[in-house]
Amino acid sequence: MSKVRFGIGLRRFENTAADARNAEALGYEFVSTGEHVFFHGPTGNGLISLAAAAGATTTIGLMSTITLVPLYPAALLAKQVAALDVVSGGRFHLGVGVGGEFAKEFEACGVPIEERGARTNEALEVMQRLWTEDNVNFDGRFNTLGGVTLAPKPVSQPHPPVWISGRSEAAMRRCARFGDGWLPYMYTPEKLAGSLANIESFSADVERAASVQPGLFIFFAVHEDRDQAIKMASDRLSVQYNQDFSALVGRYALAGNPDDCIARLREYVDAGARTVILNSACPGAYVEENERLFAQSVLPALRA
């Protein structure tokens, strides 16, 4: 079985550099962060936060989980991704999502929410061409390029890895067409295994032979007291997603004592996950301990 890699999400915007250094010291392979323009609570911008993390670290990978691609002009996002990959020495991985959970941010950015999937697909085509070609011409529904060359191009070859996130068939088809990796969220192990089989089938449909790296994005809370961990995760996710999460934590998050988390993680690994991006679902005062306890009491069992 190939090695399982683990990443940890940044949560404290004012301490991005320190959080990233701590993640690197704890032995995580990635540091990650999501983004929204507006949401139910405070959120940052992924590319800016990861640029700060890049400057504070030397070896850890940097992954956006996820970048809301349809809210960006494709050429501008291609430039920002290339620049971040260059300044980080080729450590950046682009996580791609279409968003839609908070319609008002699409309205505020002047992007019709019903166009988000089509805009994302076209942006991925535009970006991959700009990262790998010179004198790019493109005449699409949302983008027009008249013989332009992006420079400097990314350090990563042929371009930074693109991880497609989502839960739907449309996201799986997008991954089959454009993705280097699949990073679903709110998934059970059974659904993860099924989605990987679907992506393999969809890849054949588009005659794309490249294999997709299987990943997973999952919220977690680990505590020696199982009930305390479950309560922390339920309370945090209920606020974050503006709904009662008490009945969903057991299906879609890692919550419990270290042994509980090891057992559940093994189910995901058995289902195919090889890159697991973890995001703390706990009070801010417990985040550092949550990450430390997971790194020292859970991850060694999965790396043995």
Instruction: Residue 115: name the closest of 142, 138, 77 by CA.
Output: 142
Q: What whole-number distance in Å separates Cα of residue 288 and Cα of residue 253?
A: 18
Compute the CA torsion angle 17, 21, 24, 25 (nearest 10 deg): -160
Instruction: Residue 26: name the closest of 213, 223, 286, 290 by CA.
Output: 290
Strands 136-139 and 144-148: antiparallel
The rounded radius of gyration (Å) of the Cα atoms in the chain is 19
Q: What whole-number distance in Å separates Cα of residue 237 and Cα of residue 186?
A: 11
Query: Which tens digits make up the pLDDT trace of 210-220?
Result: 789 999 999 99
Q: pLDDT > 90: what percent of the chain?
A: 91
Beta bridge pairs of residue 202: none
pLDDT value, residue 208: 85
Q: Is the pLDDT of residue 304 over 80?
A: no
Q: Decide which of 304 and 125 is more confident.
A: 125
Taking each helix axis from N to C end, the angle separating 74-87 and 116-132, rounded to the nearest 10 degrees, works out to 50
pLDDT value, residue 70: 98
CB 102 within 8 A of CB 89: no
Query: Which tens digits make up the pLDDT trace of 191-216?
Result: 999 999 999 999 988 888 778 999 99
Rounded to 5 degrees, φ, ψ at 213 are -70, 130
Tell me if residue 293 falls in helix, strand or coil. Answer: helix
Query: Which tens digits make up the pLDDT trace of 131-185?
Result: 999 999 999 999 999 999 999 999 999 999 999 999 999 999 999 999 999 999 9
CB 8 within 8 A of CB 287: no
Query: Which tens digits make up the pLDDT trace of 13-35?
Result: 788 999 999 999 999 999 999 99
As its CATH architecture, domain 5-303 has Alpha-Beta Barrel (3.20)
pLDDT value, residue 41: 80
Query: Which of 1-10, 65-74, 203-212, 214-223 shows the lowest mean pLDDT across its residues?
Result: 203-212
CB 264 within 8 A of CB 226: no
pLDDT value, residue 76: 98
Q: What is the mean pLDDT of residues 282-302?
A: 95
Q: For the chain, give the number of residues.
A: 304
pLDDT value, residue 206: 86
Q: Quick check: pTM over 0.85? A: yes
Q: pLDDT > 70: what percent of the chain?
A: 99
pLDDT value, residue 1: 58
